[in-house]
Structure 1
Amino acid sequence: MLSVSLGEGGELRATEPWQAPEFAAYVDRTRDHLAPWLPWVHSVTDTASARRFLQEMADSQARDGARLYGIHLDGRLVGGTCFRLFDAATGLCELGVWLGPDVRGRGLATRAARKMTDWAVEERGMRRIQWLVAPDNAASISVAQRLGMSYEGTLRGYLPQEGGGRQDLEVWSMLAPERAFLRAD
């Protein structure tokens, strides 16, 4: 998957280390908005750290693991999506998606997540797609619901938070046969 249209000027594209300057600028622009949900935004602080982060993702993808894609609108990086976990041997992947505040409400996150789930199930044979989300992240929970995912429970105190404390995460998921049923409508 190098580039996939999301319609209405939206595009899902591979994000690679050579794109570190654009990625660093995006993170810098949206850091305050994304920080409550994405721990890695605290470590991507300049082009060099963005390059390291993107290289780690590229190395993981080369091992058939985690992978990262940018969401572009009219050619501008406005968000992203990733498989934080991608295990072809067990058929399990964990999907996440994020957008800058200026492009929310256009359906980009849902369309990008749907393209990712389609690819994971149809091309790679994934059997379970899961989505971990902070309980107060209503926008992300809405995407999981629009994808047809089911709420499974809450992992209490799952992630350390910047500045101390721990964050709960809800688990949402979809199994491949459920996805096929939903797509038949």
Structure 2
Amino acid sequence: MLATSLGEGAELRPLEPWQAPLLAAYTDRVREHLTPWLPWAHAVTDVDSARSFLQGYADRQAADRGRIYGIWLGDELVGGMIFRLFDIDQGSCELGAWLAPEAQGRGLVTGAASVMTDWAVRQRGMSRVEWLVSPANAPSIAVARRLGMTHEGTLRSVFAMGGERHDLQVWAVLADEWLRREG
């Protein structure tokens, strides 16, 4: 229900607070893979913290300020997508993603990000979709490129995680660029 096909048995579906046990188990299983890139992977450590994280996104969605989705292969949660920021007034949003190692190389993130970008631009009237990524995360940078995003710059030492300061590259696609690209 309420799923968008990504092809080959994969779907993009809402991820909701009642699914906290699934998110907690997924995060435990792939934590080592996620923690270099995602601050939330440090905080989701059990079912209660997963429920709190998902409830935060349910509250954001109710306020039209963000959304979270799971990427599923059959009945298995293998990744996710978020509109971490979603500002209707400014017409700008930030899209993010994560994926289990065994699900990589299938185009799942690119497909899901394309669906979500298209929805944000065509249905919600967003003027700008951003993708923030560590300069060391080559697969994520490749997704930004496949989406036709432009590297706008690097925010140096912009946040702390795991006891270290981290840089973030800012990639974005503007609505008119997206619409020209997608026809």
**TM-score under structure 1 length normalisation:** 0.97
Secondary structure in structure 1 of the residue aligned to 2:21: helix
Q: Aligned equivalents of 1:100 and 1:72: distance in 2?
A: 11
Verify: 1:89 aligned to 2:86, yes or no: no
Q: Aligned equivalents of 1:122 and 1:181: distance in 2?
A: 12
Structure 1 residues 119-155: Cα deviation after superposition (integer angstroms, max 9, x where no partner): 1011100000001000000000000000000000000
Verify: 1:171 aligned to 2:136, yes or no: no
- Which residue number in structure 2 is paired with residue 138 of structure 1? 138
- Which residue number in structure 1 is paired with residue 35 of structure 2? 35
Q: Aligned equivalents of 1:111 and 1:5: distance in 2?
A: 9
Unmatched runs of 5 consecutive residues or more in structure 2: none
Secondary structure in structure 1 of the residue aligned to 2:65: coil
Structure 1 residues 2-50: Cα deviation after superposition (integer angstroms, max 9, x where no partner): 3111111110000000000011000111100010110011110011110
Alignment of 1:1-185 (within 5 A): 2-162=2-162, 164-184=163-183
Question: How many positions carry a matched residue from both structures?
Answer: 183
**TM-score under structure 2 length normalisation:** 0.98
Q: CA RMSD in A?
A: 1.0
Q: Aligned equivalents of 1:158 and 1:81: distance in 2?
A: 22
Which runs of structure 1 show a deviation greater than 6 angstroms over 4 or more consecutive aligned residues?
A: none
Structure 1 residues 47-105: Cα deviation after superposition (integer angstroms, max 9, x where no partner): 11100110011001100011100000112100000001000111100001110001100
Unmatched runs of 5 consecutive residues or more in structure 1: none
Query: Identity percentage over the alignment?
Result: 61
